[in-house]
């Protein structure tokens, strides 16, 4: 029986590698098939099939064991970082140069990230002045794959009121992004947390008079750091 090979130069493969990278976190922990299925909105059986193919490729892109989960190989991590660099540079270009609304740049970059050439990537990077962070506050990987470490924590984790600085905001919920932006809650802004309790956060951006109430889930999309 001939084993059917997967085309390793596809958007689907890139999306798998990005998702594993994101879920594995800075420590590159193993990611369960269930978590990957939830992230990608794909059936568990399809996840298993793809991971087996990526692990069996001539240059394996993942290390996969059914009961232990998956993590990226060296080659897989390199490719994930390349796509992530494309994505975040495109987001920055769309936002700063083309004037796209913040809530639209993620979806547009998702469509474009697989197709730009290295020359085009370099021209965008130069045009933007070699940015280190995208409009959401996420680090843009360098050409060599290095990324600055960001010391922050989810707003949902805090147990005390006070002032903080917004470090980054998740780009996965366009409706929430627009809502936060309307209230002036963007990366680098000082944030006053007026109330924090289980399931509810009330906050206000510096210089704003209107406060915003967030659920525990929505607060998890905002990462903050202490002032000073």
Give residue 26's pLDDT: 79
> What is d(CA 192, CA 197) in angstroms, rounded to the nearest whole number?
15
Where does residue 51 rank: exposed (0-12), middle (13-18), buried (19+ CB within 10 A)?
A: buried
170 located within any domain: yes
Q: CB of 166 within 8 A of CB of 191?
A: yes
Write out pLDDT tens, residues 134-155: 999 999 999 998 888 778 999 9
| The domain boundary residue, chosen from 54, 72, 90 | 72
Listed as ranges, residues in the chain with pLDDT below 50 are: 1-4
Helix, strand, or coil (residue 184)? coil
Compute the CA torsion angle 26, 136, 193, 225 (nearest 10 deg).
Answer: 40
Number of domains composing the chain? 2
Q: Which of 89, 69, 79 is nearest to 15 (CA)?
A: 79
111 located within any domain: no
34 located within any domain: yes
| The domain boundary residue, chosen from 72, 92, 109 | 72
Q: Which of 128, 17, 141, 126 is nearest to 88 (CA)?
A: 141
> Which domain CATH number covers 16?
1.10.10.10
Give residue 28's pLDDT: 84
Token digits of residue 133: 């962070």
- For tokens 């976190």, the residue is 25
Domain encompassing residue 60:
11-72
83 located within any domain: no
131 located within any domain: no
| The domain boundary residue, chosen from 39, 55, 72 | 72
165 located within any domain: yes
Write out pLDDT tens, residues 1-45: 344 455 676 899 999 999 999 999 878 899 999 999 999 999 999
Give residue 204's pLDDT: 95
**Residues near 98 by beta carbon (within 8 Å), at least 6 away in sequence:** none
219 located within any domain: yes
28 located within any domain: yes
Greatest alpha-carbon pair distance for the chain in Å reads 69
pTM of the model: 0.90
């Amino acid at each position: 029986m001939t084993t059917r090979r997967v085309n390793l130069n596809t958007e689907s493969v890139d999306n798998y590698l990005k998702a594993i990278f994101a879920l594995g976190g800075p420590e590159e922990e193993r990611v369960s098939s269930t978590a990957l299925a939830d992230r990608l909105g794909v059936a568990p059986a399809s996840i298993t099939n793809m991971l087996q193919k990526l692990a069996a490729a001539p240059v394996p892109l993942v290390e996969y064991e059914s009961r232990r989960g998956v993590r990226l190989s060296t080659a897989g991590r390199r490719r994930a970082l390349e796509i992530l660099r494309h994505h975040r540079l495109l987001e920055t270009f769309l936002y700063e140069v083309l004037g796209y609304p913040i809530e639209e740049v993620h979806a547009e970059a998702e469509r474009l990230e697989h197709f730009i050439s290295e020359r085009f990537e370099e021209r965008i990077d130069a045009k933007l002045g070699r940015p280190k962070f995208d409009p959401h506050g996420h680090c843009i990987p360098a050409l060599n794959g290095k990324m600055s470490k960001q010391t922050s924590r989810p707003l949902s984790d805090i147990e005390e009121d006070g002032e903080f600085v917004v470090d980054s905001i998740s780009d996965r919920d366009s409706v929430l992004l627009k809502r936060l932006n309307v209230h002036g809650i963007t990366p680098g802004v000082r944030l006053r947390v007026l109330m924090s309790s289980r399931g509810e956060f009330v906050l206000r951006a510096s210089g704003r008079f209107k406060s915003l109430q967030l659920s525990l889930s929505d607060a998890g999309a905002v990462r903050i750091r202490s002032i000073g």
